[in-house]
């Protein structure tokens, strides 16, 4: 045990030696282990403990809770977007070409540092996306990719706040918070039920919007590999590769849901991509969903009540074709 503690102390020495001294003593910033513990606990709860506890229980009906939660996320994301923007990106003080980290104590610089810290905490609030899935027994939505994405983000952002709270990489936070404003607005409207469903036709374009975000982050990050900029190359690779991974993930979902041609089934009825259609987090074509394991990228985190009417009509169509 003493050997382990020696390695832990040595790690802390290395981290503190290279850390930004402005954030070292801030809450959750002195050591990576609390964040790592929370992330691992999240994975255990949503993949093992939560489904086990809900196994013999009825799913919770959380319509109002989901509306309030998504409204909170919209407001939180809007505030973060404003803070990150007014700290540099929207004032003309930051350069899209190269923006080193300012380690001074100027008020505007510290405003950006605090915005990065709060952005880090926003990654924890997003854990509730998955927890609501578990409470509503939508375990098929708790995919490995979903859990990895949510589970690794707090740890990833922790390193940014610890070493580079500001500068070039905050462009990712600016775009990400803006995308989250749109995303959680969609989720909030979807959680309100069937009466708003006709107004959610723009779901497909939300998926495209997310992919555009990843492309912009890739270009913005990887350009530093070809120019001289006083910004850590390790963070350039980390952010660029992160955006690349999720671009291909979301692109695969998009191709699966929107670009594949309709194929005839055995009874002569064509599939209408129902395996990609979800109503407030519930896949209407359960048979197709279970076999393909695919979901619409825009609905990757959708929460809310099911469209009972749509499900009823779907069952009727199955009965008529059997």
> For position 91, what pLDDT does the model report?
94
How do residues 54-76 score in pLDDT, each as one tens digit?
Answer: 999 999 989 999 999 999 999 99
- Whether the per-residue pLDDT at 205 is higher than 80: the answer is yes
Q: With respect to residue 208, please indicate whether it lies within any of the assigned structural domains.
A: yes
> For residue 264, what are the β-bridge partners?
270
pTM to 2 decimals? Answer: 0.79
Q: According to the model, what pLDDT value does residue 7 have?
A: 65
pLDDT above 60: residue 241: yes
**For residues 22-42, average pLDDT:** 94
> Who has greater pLDDT, 217 or 271?
217
Q: Which two tokens stand for residue 130?
A: 């998955």
User: Is residue 98 in a domain?
Assistant: yes
237 within some domain? yes
> What pLDDT digit, counting tens, does each position of 121-169 carry?
999 999 999 999 999 999 888 877 788 888 989 999 999 999 999 999 9
In a domain, 191, yes or no: yes
Give the confidence band of 247 by pLDDT, cuts at 50, 70, 90.
confident
- Asked if residue 268 is part of any domain, the answer here is no
Q: Is the pLDDT of residue 47 over 90?
A: yes
Position 33 pLDDT exceeds 80: yes
Distance (Å) of CA 72 to CA 2, 126, 142, 149, 261:
45, 11, 22, 21, 39
User: Is 149 labeled as catalytic in the residue annotation?
Assistant: yes
Q: What is the mean pLDDT of residues 259-281?
A: 45
307 in any annotated domain:
no
How far apart are alpha carbons 33 and 10 in whole angstroms?
14
Split into its structural domains, the chain has a count of: 1
Give pLDDT, residue 259. Answer: 67
Asked if the structure places residue 194 within a domain, the reply is yes
Q: Is residue 13 part of a domain?
A: no
User: Do 180 and 292 meet the contact criterion of CB atoms below 8 Å apart?
Assistant: no
Domain that holds residue 182: 28-263
Annotated active-site residue in 12, 114, 149, 277: 149
Q: How many CA atoms lie within 13 A of 37 on its CB side?
A: 5
3-state secondary structure (DSSP) of residue 136: coil
Whether the pLDDT of residue 278 is over 70: the answer is: no
């Amino acid at each position: 045990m003493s050997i382990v503690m020696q390695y832990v102390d040595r790690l802390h020495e290395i981290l503190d030696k290279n850390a930004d001294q402005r954030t070292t003593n801030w809450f959750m910033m002195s050591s990576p282990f609390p964040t790592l513990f929370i992330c691992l606990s999240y994975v255990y709860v949503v993949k093992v403990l939560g489904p086990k506890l809900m196994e013999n229980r009825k799913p919770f009906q959380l319509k109002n809770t989901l509306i309030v939660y998504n409204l909170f996320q919209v407001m939180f994301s809007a505030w973060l977007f404003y803070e990150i923007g007014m700290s540099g990106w929207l004032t003309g003080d930051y350069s899209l070409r190269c923006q080193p980290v300012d380690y001074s104590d100027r008020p505007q610089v510290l405003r950006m540092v605090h915005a990065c810290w709060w952005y880090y905490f926003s990654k924890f609030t997003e854990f509730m996306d998955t927890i609501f899935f578990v409470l509503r027994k939508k375990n098929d939505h708790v995919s490995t990719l979903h859990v990895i994405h949510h589970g690794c983000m707090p740890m990833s952002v922790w390193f940014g706040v610890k070493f580079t709270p500001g500068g070039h990489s905050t462009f990712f936070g600016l775009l990400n918070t803006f995308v989250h404003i749109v995303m959680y607005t969609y989720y909030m409207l979807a959680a309100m039920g069937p009466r708003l469903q006709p107004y959610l036709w723009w779901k497909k374009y939300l998926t495209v919007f997310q992919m555009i975000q990843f492309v912009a982050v890739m270009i913005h990050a990887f350009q530093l590999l070809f120019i001289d900029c006083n910004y850590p190359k390790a963070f350039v690779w980390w952010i660029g590769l992160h955006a690349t991974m999720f671009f291909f993930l979301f692109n695969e979902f998009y191709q699966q849901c929107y670009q594949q041609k309709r194929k005839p089934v055995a009874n002569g009825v064509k599939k209408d991509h129902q395996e990609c259609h979800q109503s407030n987090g519930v896949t209407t074509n359960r048979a197709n969903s279970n076999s393909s394991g695919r979901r619409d990228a825009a609905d990757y985190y959708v929460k809310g009540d099911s469209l009972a009417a749509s499900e009823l009509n779907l069952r009727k169509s199955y009965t008529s074709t059997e």
